Structure 1
Amino acid sequence: MQVTVGVDFGTLSGRAVVVSVADGTQLADAVHDYRHGVLDRTLPDGSTELAPDWALQLPEDWREVLRTAVPKALALAGVTPDQVIGIGTDFTACTVLPTTADGTPLCELPGLAGRPHAYPKLWRHHAAQPQADRINALAARLGEPWPARYGGKVSSEWQYAKGLQLLEEEPELYARADRWIEAADWIVWELTGAENRNVCTAGYKGMVQDGVPPSREFLARLHPGFAEFTAKLDHPLSPLGAAAGTLTARAAAMTGLNEGIPVSVGNVDAHVTSAAARALEPGHLLAIMGTSTCHILNSEVLAEVPGMCGVVDGGVVPGLWGYEAGQSGVGDIFAWAVRSTTPAEYAEQARARGISVHQLLTEKAAAQPVGGHGLVALDWHSGNRSTLVDHHLSGLLLGLTLDTRPEEIYRALLEATAFGTRMIVEAFEHGGVPVTEFTVAGGLPRNRFLMQIYSDVLRRPINVIGSEQGPALGSAIHAAVAAGAYPDIRAASAAMGRIRLAVHTPDQYRADAYDQLFAHYRELHDHFGRGGSDSMHRLRALRDTARLEENR
């Protein structure tokens, strides 16, 4: 039996799966938790404090996934290295890092371990929002054409905003960074020994459209030293599903695989999942739901949809326009509710029954009628990725009384994320990009009550991916294409992908009630997000000033 290995590098851990090339059967998986997780308070030395909105990671944590999860998955699957015909990887994005010309991360150079800007910036690093604001303002003033492909605004999460922040705050490190590279491409460099860049991250996060990045003249107007920034990114782009190279002897020793097997071109965790969910056809929207949600949609139509994260030719599958949208906080918001709004007695109840507090709150919330809590929330605890593209917005909960219970707050937050998704779906359709089918993947779809809320709010049947390891399965599918087992991604997806159709269907009565709640959500969304009030921005500025003064 021939197999491929898919490795998914997430926010807190990495996972390896071993998959049958013939039919996509998952034979085994193994997880490795990053020892350092997300660095958002201090560097590993414990003394170098990070400013608000920072989020960093360690490359060594990623290497440990290759050293531990891959060999463990092979052992659990009971397969030998000779049976593995290829390996594929995916990563969070935009997670980007500065390196030397040979790919060494700056944070691993002598004397730089205490410099925050030497580390990889995780996708949820939002401290470059002022730089993103300036990029957007200048592009609008000059009438630049490329922002239209990103719904009119680029994000603080992306390569150029983070690169400009590096230049302005640590010009010495900016000068030492020969390369500015997505982690999705860096991990492939580690495996093959040669730099490679993929069309997905280049298009969505690096603002390359029709093969052309923003001009040198535009960058110089942002900062004279930024004019040559593109040189740190410049490299021929490889199509998805292609082989980036072959496994080096060093990487083979690290992973327990055979030297010389094909390594597929890097990809983004959300985008690669489309193949795993058989969601490649035009109009089939895939929502990958975890700590955040990413929405991926292929179309034959090129349109300008306000607030989208991007539309890229071949960004998901060659031959179609791939659209991306997203919500910066979803599972993270539910976790916040458990940490911050749940009394000790609820934790005791959950422990006595042997269930999680999330499960307890879900049970209690499910017993309520739609609208029975009298609440509506905005799901902006990590800012708004789509359609407002503003990471300095914040969460809001309206309607609290002295009788409000924790499960009511919890339910309002579940509903808020569904409302946020509805805003995105409606933006697509109003922009001329039809959404004909809706599928979910990730960890959150295991919560059936949450998925029923989404079905009712969206008034659509919801399909569910047939694998709990969507990104890793997608990477394994791409590895099969890179190894030549299938002619293209569509054929591999049809054979190896998994989907369960119409698992959740809308209830007319609840859907009508949710329409009323959604009207309140839209009113608050537009008031705080579209200029009715800038109080969220002013409160954040006040917070940041107070924290900086406290740290002096």
Structure 2
Amino acid sequence: MSYVIGIDLGTSAVKSVLVDREGRVTGEHSESYPLMRPKPGYSEQNPEDWVKGTLVSLNRLVEKTGVRPAEIDGISFSGQMHGLVLVDAEGKPLRPAILWNDTRTTAQCRRIESTLGAKLIDIARNKALEGFTLPKLLWVQENEPELLDQAKLFLLPKDYVRYRLTGEYGAEYSDAAGTLLLDAASKSWSAEIAEAFNLPLSLCPPLTESFGQTGGLLPEIAEAAGLEPGTKVFAGGADNACGALGAGILGEGKTMCSIGTSGVVLSYESDKTLNLGGRAHFFNHAEKDGYYIMGVTLAAGYSLTWFKETFAAEMGFDELLAGIDRIPAGSGGLLFTPYIVGERTPHADSDIRGSFLGMDSGHTLKHFARSVLEGITFSLRESVDIVRSSGKAVTEIVSIGGGAKNADWLQMQADIFNATIIRLESEQGPALGAAMLAAYGAGWFDSLGDCAAAFIRTAGRYEPNPEQAERYEKIYALYREVYGQTQELNRRLAEFRN
């Protein structure tokens, strides 16, 4: 028997999964690590914690499954995007990694916009947001210049771990696309952007495809992991790109809705010249010469968690949502906007906040619970609309994450998106996508599409109800007015939040 291992390097933990040739996950193990918040808005981690967690996770995975090291044909990665790791000439981190959810770089984002103007969208295809890597580099340039002078390279989180496992530096296109330093169309680091900020292009690591082999396990690493020296290691992909692989989003028209803490709508794109003007993210895919459009709702599943913990802490989610199918679409005239931590797509606004509109004395807890689900789904619909505005006919959407665990919510997605919703039999998300890159890189399949056909199975389909879909169209039109009507009020309320 032969296997591959997918490693998903997340913000709170690293997960390793063992996958056989039929795409069955035969074992998994997670190891957590700490998050550091030294100041308000700061979010950092020690890169060596990722390495230690990965080695422990691999070792425990091998122990738990009893797999023989010789049966492992390859390893690949999925990783949290945008994080900045600066290493010196010996490959040692010069400071803690600055993570994707660190918000210290607002001033640097404004500097990028004023310096590059429209060129930023033309080259990198994305707006300057605090989460991206280039603003972090500029923050170090302005606040810790001596460290930037000592830096040999910047690396993204999974690429640092892979370097430590193999001794070889590298980056791949799907993660590099989230730095604001990659020319998305030419698939090369942008000398124009780097030079505009006096950053040497030599800071950028060599680029390869996500399925490209990037060395083998070093002997001491293999011993710690319980694997064979030289085990093939493949570049891997950004977490969203790998999540898309794990959902089979490979080919025109393929679209995914992922509802976790945040929510993501992601659609495959083959046109490298597509320019959405920054209305949604545009990133390189883990498939060769593929791209994807992505919209983000910051507080998707988090809105539901917040609501339950605040108003129904004694209930489980199943109890809270039981019976919402008996509440009519529109929740009896109650409308929720999920802007409780700001919003990303289509409104990149850190000041906007959520609201319940239309409350009356006849509304019950179930009305509020349904309205929260509807509001989350309306927000995601705005991203679906951006995808459709690019010329795509989105008729089927694969739903994964927490939003795929409740049948009523799945039907709601079908009605609000006015598309068939597909639920998968087994959902491992980015970790499975990483394993697929290892399987393809190791030669198991002729294409990632063939790999997806073998690994991914459909468990159910939810068709839109025409009457419900028509009703939701009218309510959605009202939802879209709320942002403009409350934007100024929320800006003025912001001074009273602390």
Q: Same fold (TM over 0.5)?
A: yes
In the TM superposition, residue 336 of structure 1 has moved relative to its aligned partner by 1.9
In the TM superposition, residue 260 of structure 1 has moved relative to its aligned partner by 0.3
Q: Given the alignment of the two structures, is residue 399 of structure 1 paired with residue 352 of structure 2, yes or no?
A: no
Please state whether the residue corresponding to 1:274 is helix, strand or coil: helix
2:242, 2:286 within 8 Å by CA — same for their partners in 1?
Answer: yes
Unaligned runs of 5+ in 2: none
Number of the residue aligned with 1:279: 249
1:321 equivalent among 272, 285, 291: 291
**Range moving further from structure 2, 447-456 or 128-137:** 128-137
Number of the residue aligned with 1:518: 476
Q: Given the alignment of the two structures, is residue 87 of structure 1 paired with residue 75 of structure 2, yes or no?
A: yes
Deviation track 1:260-296 (CA, whole Å, cap 9, x = no partner) reads 0111103112211333222201110122332222333
Number of the residue aligned with 2:388: 429
Structure 1: distance between partners of 2:236 and 2:246 = 16
Question: Superposed, which structure 2 residues align to 1:46-445 within 5 Å?
Answer: 50-51=39-40, 53-106=41-94, 118-140=95-117, 143-144=118-119, 146-148=120-122, 153-209=127-183, 210-215=186-191, 226-228=197-199, 230-232=201-203, 234-301=204-271, 302-312=273-283, 315-342=285-312, 347=314, 350=315, 357-401=316-360, 405-445=364-404
CA RMSD, aligned part only? 2.7
Q: 1:367 to 1:59 in 2, by over 3 A?
A: farther
Structure 2: distance between partners of 1:151 and 1:524 = 28
2:414, 2:421 within 8 Å by CA — same for their partners in 1?
Answer: yes
Number of the residue aligned with 1:12: 12
In the TM superposition, residue 151 of structure 1 has moved relative to its aligned partner by 5.8
Please state whether the residue corresponding to 1:185 is helix, strand or coil: helix
2:18, 2:26 within 8 Å by CA — same for their partners in 1?
Answer: yes
Deviation track 1:400-454 (CA, whole Å, cap 9, x = no partner) reads 4566544443332222221121111111211224434311223441222222221
The one-letter amino acid paired with 1:12 is: S
In the comparison of the two structures, how many residue pairs are matched? 495
Q: Given the alignment of the two structures, is residue 503 of structure 1 paired with residue 453 of structure 2, yes or no?
A: no
1:306, 1:387 within 8 Å by CA — same for their partners in 2?
Answer: no
The one-letter amino acid paired with 1:203 is: A
In the TM superposition, residue 11 of structure 1 has moved relative to its aligned partner by 2.9
Number of the residue aligned with 1:536: 490
Q: 1:373 to 1:33 in 2, by over 3 A?
A: farther
Please state whether the residue corresponding to 2:340 is helix, strand or coil: coil
In the TM superposition, residue 6 of structure 1 has moved relative to its aligned partner by 0.7
Number of the residue aligned with 2:446: 487
Q: 1:193 to 1:469 in 2, by over 3 A?
A: same
2:327, 2:366 within 8 Å by CA — same for their partners in 1?
Answer: no
**Range moving further from structure 2, 152-161 or 168-177:** 168-177
Please state whether the residue corresponding to 1:332 is helix, strand or coil: helix
The one-letter amino acid paired with 1:205 is: T
1:94, 1:158 within 8 Å by CA — same for their partners in 2?
Answer: yes
Q: 1:251 to 1:408 in 2, by over 3 A?
A: farther
In the TM superposition, residue 525 of structure 1 has moved relative to its aligned partner by 3.0
In the TM superposition, residue 399 of structure 1 has moved relative to its aligned partner by 3.1
Structure 2: distance between partners of 1:121 and 1:443 = 28
In the TM superposition, residue 502 of structure 1 has moved relative to its aligned partner by 5.0
2:84, 2:137 within 8 Å by CA — same for their partners in 1?
Answer: no
Unaligned runs of 5+ in 1: 44-49, 107-117, 351-356, 547-552
**Range moving further from structure 2, 470-479 or 316-325:** 316-325
The TM-score with structure 2 as length reference comes to 0.90
In the TM superposition, residue 243 of structure 1 has moved relative to its aligned partner by 0.8
Q: 1:482 to 1:374 in 2, by over 3 A?
A: same
In the TM superposition, residue 176 of structure 1 has moved relative to its aligned partner by 4.2
2:258, 2:401 within 8 Å by CA — same for their partners in 1?
Answer: yes
2:293, 2:387 within 8 Å by CA — same for their partners in 1?
Answer: no
Q: 1:382 to 1:268 in 2, by over 3 A?
A: farther
Deviation track 1:492-534 (CA, whole Å, cap 9, x = no partner) reads 2222x21316522222232222222211211113445xxxx44
The one-letter amino acid paired with 1:424 is: S
